[in-house]
């Protein structure tokens, strides 16, 4: 064995075989898009608006990852909420 080499092939093989037996992994391929949703009511509604708009042209949406949350202020009050989301979906 060479100096600095820390892996043991038979142990790694056993470890990965035990993981495979726990639960089957899906063979899906995913794509992510970035979209900004907004709402005058709430952050939750802004997220729902983003998903609803994406769903008009994207099928198989699986998750939403909220990256940023912002509020637009007018006259010292929150006028509307914005959320930047990554939307993940499976490819056919």
- Mean pLDDT over each residue of the chain, to the nearest integer: 86
Mean of the pLDDT values across residues 76-84? 97
pLDDT in tens, 18-37: 656 665 656 788 999 999 99
The answer on pLDDT for 59 being more than 90 is: yes
pLDDT of residue 2: 53
The answer on pLDDT for 12 being more than 90 is: no
Sorted by where each starts, the structural domains of the chain and their CATH numbers stand as 26-90 (3.30.1660.10)
The answer on pLDDT for 63 being more than 80 is: yes
d(C-alpha 29, C-alpha 67), whole Å: 22
The answer on pLDDT for 10 being more than 70 is: no
Look at the pTM and tell me if it is higher than 0.85.
Answer: no
d(C-alpha 44, C-alpha 24), whole Å: 33
């Amino acid at each position: 064995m060479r100096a600095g080499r820390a892996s043991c092939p038979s142990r790694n093989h056993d470890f990965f075989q035990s993981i495979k037996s726990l639960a089957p992994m899906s063979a899906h391929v995913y794509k992510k898009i970035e979209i900004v949703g907004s709402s005058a009511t709430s952050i939750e509604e802004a997220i729902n608006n983003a998903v609803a708009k994406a769903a008009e042209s994207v099928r198989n949406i699986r998750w939403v990852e909220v990256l940023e949350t912002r509020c637009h202020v007018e006259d010292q009050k929150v006028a509307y909420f914005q959320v930047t989301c990554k939307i993940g979906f499976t490819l056919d």
